[in-house]
Amino acid sequence: MLCLCCSLVPVVSPLAFVIKGGGARQRVPPGPVTPALSLSRSLSLSILDRPRETWSKKMDFLLSVIGYAVDLGNVWRFPYICYQNGGGAFLLPYMLMAVFGGVPLFYMELALGQFHRSGCISIWKHICPIFKGVGFAICIIALYIAFYYNTIMAWALYYLLASFRPTLPWTTCSNPWNTVNCLRYLSTDSNVTWTNTSTSPAEEFYTRQVLQVHLSPGLHQLGSVSWQLALCLLFIFTIVYFSIWKGVKTSGKVVWVTATFPYLVLLVLLVRGATLPGAWRGVVFYLKPDWGKLLSTTVWIDAAAQIFFSLGPGFGVLLAFASYNPFHNNCYKDALVTSSVNCLTSFLSGFVIFTVLGYMAEMRKIGVETVAKDAGPSLLFIIYAEAIANMPAATFFAIIFFLMIIMLGLDSTVSGTHTHTMHTGGAFVVKLFEEYATGPAVITVVFLEVIAVSWFYGTSRFCADVNMMLGFSPGLFWRVCWVAICPIFLLFIIVSFLAFPPEVKLFDYVYPPWTTVLGYCIGVSSFICVPAYMVYHLLTAKGTFKQVRASRGLGVGLSPSSPPPVPPPSY
């Protein structure tokens, strides 16, 4: 989920204040003219004169937002977070966090981008210039996320190329990379002797052939570069570039495939998973809540973090996508539809993965809660791979599945620099970036964003902007969420993360204490843009501190009750 706003370049003529649509001239709905609305209407004169490319069709925008929000995190992060937090017990806090935190922030960003018609950096000169560092921080975080998102797509491409053979290489134990602990089993086997030292063919293919982590002792010695993965990554760079090189006119067409194809694949996997022996055990674990888990703060922290990263406010993409909408597009309805699709997709992915976990538990004669050993992409490349291995026409389904993974990644990423992730120990770097480089930094950035919009720019003025676009103002629920609930929701995650830093482990490698310091340094390297720009703005702004405030440098020079600088247009 990344900052595509730097990649989409406006190339067409500006919209006029009176917008043409369907052959008729449409005027802004009048509504009650409050001081804040008068100011908003005056400011919109200059806003609508800004050149900005627009989506060819409304569906291009909806599919782009759905494709961005529905990404790899829905396929592997949601099922695993749900798995490690007791299955059904996780769903209640997840839905509460979605309603009171994720969806309001999602709506706010779509409205901001559509009204101000700007990306994640330029928008701050219209809202609160001293917070412009937030935009720079978003771009740096986008680069960090690209470090591991593009790498995961490169792994998926490796799997895709390895699938073009009659027998999938992760279905047998007779390959050069396999060990004596490799134990092959299929859904038709009735007598499987699984021990604590046993490993599946899919696990050994992932760890010993693709990642080759056994050749690297850890982060302190990453090993040599894997030329196969390096070539895969180069090809992914090329695909990403040609997906966005002509802006929304290109990316809007690409998402017709990339945003819809994954649903077909997930439904096929669900049908197959439901027919595997023991699938019901996984579904029961998924839906049956362990109410004792709700007393743990970890469940609530994970739920808040998951809905936040799933919907993706704060990464600049929603601002960029919405900025190419017509001024009077109903972004309120768009927010409700796309966020609902996102949550339902996560729920569907949960069914897919838990049916397979139930099957694996049945075959190994162990509990569902002990099947998965590692978090993250391991779910994609081990558990899903085992499910595919038990399908008729396994080669065909392997090809379409890993195509889906690449498409999910394409919807949410841009290219970056990935030198260290291509080493044999690159998986350790990917895990470090996943845990530290984005989480606390982007949550802090969004915390500052909602504070800047609600408290500095002003909720009344923001609601007047929405009234200007849609003809109605957001209700009390949205106002309370933006002013109080969302900031508390985000601050809760930040404090919890700092108070309880994650214990990072990948396979059998436990990250040493110095990696925690390194991780925090990487996170701070992006967030430091915010206070740095604040200092720069105050030092370079002309006049006294009071005059800077009056010029809206701090976002408080004009209150909703202030008279508009120019007379409002007549309607």
Q: Which residues are annotated as a binding site?
A: 67, 69-70, 74, 310, 342, 408, 411-412
Neighbours of 441 (CB within 10 A): 27
Instruction: Tally DSSP H helices, then E strands, for the chain.
Output: 27, 4
Tally of residues, the chain: 571
- 456, with CB counted inside 10 A (0-12, 13-18, 19+), is middle
**Rounded (10°) CA dihedral 233, 60, 397, 204:** 30
Which positions make up the binding site for Na(+)? 67, 69-70, 74, 310, 342, 408, 411-412
Spatial CB neighbours of 6, under 8 Å, sequence gap ≥ 6: 119, 139, 414
Q: How far apart are CA 37 and CA 141, in angstroms?
A: 35
Phi/psi region, residue 247 (left: phi>0; alpha: psi -120 to 50; beta: rest), is: left
Distance CA 240, CA 410 (A): 6
Helices (H), 288-369: 297-311, 317-323, 331-364
State which amino acid sits at residue 144: Y
The whole-angstrom distance between residue 552's C-alpha and the CA centroid of its chain comes to 32
How do 509-510 and 505-506 pair as beta strands?
antiparallel
